[in-house]
Amino acid sequence: MGKDMVDICVTLDFDDAWLAEVAAVSPEVHVHKHLAASADDLPPDLLARTDVLYTGTALPTRAQAPRLRWVQLDTSGCDHVVGTDLWASGTPLTTIGGVSPRPLAEYVLMMILAHAHHLPETIRLQQDARWPDFPHRWNRLMPRMLPGATVGVVGYGRIGREIGRLAAAFGMNVVGLRRGGPRAGERYGEEAAGDPAALVGPEGLYDLLAASDYVVLTVPYTDGTRDLLDAAAFAKMKHGAMLINAARGGVVDETALLDALRSGQVGRAALDVFAEEPLPPSHPLWKEPNVLVTPHIAGFAPGYHEQVKALFTENVRRFLAGSPLVNLVDRKAGY
């Protein structure tokens, strides 16, 4: 890089100490912060001299940022970049994938346990101040067995592995679907001691659905995963199984899901993501009796600022050294 300064623009509201630690990577680095939801919110002169951009949604065109050489996205996915000028430009993109596997996996296990122990029904009983008779409690509130039950994880990457580790600790069988193996530079975080999953490829989706008591979605949203769970897929699921979607809303055909819930083919669904967000108040999923809706919170990570700072500073060092970046997006794969 020689003695040329590298101008980094950060569009998120990180504090001065966070920015200072990024700048301390090298005297060649100059860090600017300007809060922005879109590229049009950034001063044109700032964009024009930006070499590196840390952002979530401010996605400039090549004309706006002619010097741009790398974009660090503040998201684990990149589906919101597909189809933009930035995507077409070929400018390297990296994600913060690997920051939230543990809390997201805990979210999934929380939903499995809530289902197994009938938590939604017991909450309704409390709201009605109703103590059911013994036959009701014995026949309807008896816990479902987790040991021996099967969790099928569609998208067995960093998050899926952590889900598998936690599920195995409860005595559950784990089947993971993954296209290919880990990619170079992909950050996994803490490595589990052994991998409990039986792995299948995309061709094994229907077999996984048929075998699983709990189907968990953690796939990236791409052309290949759009409406991955459609009417045909729901028909292949084990009757009465539970669906947990912590991926992206577009991975599920929501109309087909509603039909499958109302027929009993899908017994219950826990949904953190939706095709339209925020989920409109009039959407039928809000009031569907066997659905638990959460407002896209499964991936919230305690210690997020420190984790993304560690990832970004590592990537800044790699960028300055001309080394491969961590979590580099593969545009052919779409994530």
Tens-of-pLDDT digits for all 335 residues of the chain?
A: 444 899 999 999 999 999 999 999 999 999 999 999 999 999 999 999 999 999 999 999 999 999 999 999 999 999 999 999 999 999 999 999 988 899 999 999 999 999 999 999 999 999 999 999 999 999 999 999 999 999 999 999 989 999 999 999 999 999 999 987 555 455 444 444 458 889 999 999 999 999 999 999 999 999 999 999 999 999 999 999 999 999 999 999 999 999 999 999 999 999 999 999 999 999 999 999 999 999 999 999 999 999 999 999 999 999 999 999 999 999 999 99
Predicted pLDDT of residue 180 = 74
In b/e form, how buried is each residue of 136-173, taking b as 16+ CB within 10 angstroms? eeeeeeeeeebeebbbbbbbbbbbbbbbbbbbbeeebb
**CA 234, CA 257: separation in Å to the nearest integer?**
7
| 8 A C-beta contact, residue 86 and residue 230 | no
Q: Which of 296, 314, 318, 331 is catalytic?
A: 296
Would you tell me how many other CB atoms lie within 10 Å of the CB of residue 82?
17
What pLDDT, on a 0 to 100 scale, did the predictor assign at position 181?
57
Nearest to 1 by CA among 90, 86, 70, 73: 70
Catalytic residue among 277, 305, 306, 317: 277
| Nearest CA-CA partner of 153 in 198, 89, 203, 118 | 198
What predicted TM-score, i.e. pTM, was given to this entire model?
0.90
| pLDDT the model gives residue 194 | 57
Q: Is 118 a catalytic residue?
A: no
Does 314 participate in catalysis according to the annotation?
A: no
Same fold, 6-98+302-321 and 101-293: yes
* Residue 37 vs residues 34, 60, 102: alpha-carbon distances, Å: 10, 11, 28
Question: Do residues 83 and 296 lie in contact, with contact meaning Cβ atoms separated by under 8 Å?
Answer: no
Report pLDDT for 118: 97
Hey, CA dihedral for 71, 330, 161, 293, is it positive or negative? Answer: positive
Q: Where are the domains of the chain?
A: 6-98+302-321, 101-293
List pLDDT tens digits, range 121-139. Answer: 999 999 999 999 999 999 9
Q: Give the torsion sign (CA, 284, 289, 295, 297).
A: negative
Write out the CATH class of domain 6-98+302-321.
Answer: alpha beta
3-state secondary structure 170-193: CCCEEEEECCCCCCCCCCCCCCCC
Res 2: pLDDT: 43
Asked if the 101-293 domain carries CATH number 1.10.760.10, the reply is no
For 54-77, the pLDDT digits (tens) are 999 999 999 999 999 999 999 999
Catalytic residue among 158, 165, 248, 268: 248
pLDDT on residue 179 = 87
Active-site residue, 62 included: no
Give the sheet arrangement for strand 52-55, strand by strand: 29-33, 6-10, 52-55, 70-73, 93-94
Quote the DSSP letter at residue 141. Answer: S
| Radius of gyration from C-alpha coordinates of the chain | 22
